[in-house]
Chains A and B, each alone.
Chain A
């Protein structure tokens, strides 16, 4: 296939801009958005995606870039994420992961256009949801047996959760505190807001951003990706 060097340059420019800003949109990058529909440039971009382990996702009037699972260059390691979330150990990190997945579970359970199930979520409901899930797990499993396992398993989230008080009313800045369940929820919400994936209104109403909606609806509902995710879960279990 003949590739025009000019198009390679343009493709690289789009790709570089996506890496720099995380997204391009029709108001700030009108020229690049026009180029992205050119068939040659599309081929170049898909080659770049393949070679760099990234994926370009198509939103309403914007394109996002995301690192595929296990991307060593653009993806975060556990220790890097601990730094981003201002926490110290993996038990805390797993708890944060679980809070993030709970938020996704409460918002998305449909198909394609209707995948988003609700418009907002109150922090209290999120807390109760996590608490119920953890309780259910405790009823099913023998924790003593599980604690002996070397690997960091879901049971460690249960241990962490149980060791925390619900809310410490003396702490004004929850994001910096570490002794309550609400503090961890606040840390995660702050992190997801910084990532521009969520918005929190009046300190209690959680809404997903357009970026989150586009990324979730486009990324996770692709057939082969769902299979990949379910394979991780089943194999690792």
Chain B
């Protein structure tokens, strides 16, 4: 059972690895186009950005980004199935995912089965394809199996299943959106704390990716607050640890001070992995401190109504962030929390342990 879950996690991560560049391209192009529209005061009656007044190039940018986003569920489902069944999985996966991307009207709101539908149908497509591959066939039919029989026999049932699931799953997505929107301060803080802790815990590993992907998927559903909270949490572990080496040089070895500078650079471009050299040598003191810092950052960002339109974190995404001041405050506060925490922890524990940072 555990091995089976492990395997399915690997399938999902395969899909995620192929879809991340699509979300990045779509998210950033859309956000830049909207930011430009807004900055130049092309606004509609409600004060929102109105791209129809913007230059043609900006409108095109919005269209191109929108198309990259529309592909998101198809690519996700396609490569989940590819991870399970190889090349033959691509057809049912892409077709099923493309159906999941179809916009529908639910209770007057436009929504799609989106990433949730894509994950489910991708897994189904993989299993269906694997079953078909096992089908015993006479030698004479072997060549037509992969180019005619399997594509049709897999895409047809998978498509039918997705068409059936489409409205129920889209309804779940709409409800989920309602729940996220209706979260009051208390539960918002809980959500932000959990996201921050997950982001920092394994510094870019599977737990971090789960939180990150939740945020990225919510961008597609036009909820930018989740990614906003993640974005602030993503960069604080490397920034905080780098800051710690600068604030209290004598507590760190020459080598650590050097990786501290590298960590600052990585933090600025939103790569949590920059914290790993520190955590690998001293996990029991470093990981709690970076989790604490990231939780502070994500909570401030969430309460400050920070929204992030790009599936990436750190100061580098500032141009496409809503609530920039609060975003900066969240990052600075999180980084200082991490830095002060790790330096104090080192101060109080160093006397007893003289072997600092060598137990790699």
On whether the two chains bind one another, the answer is no
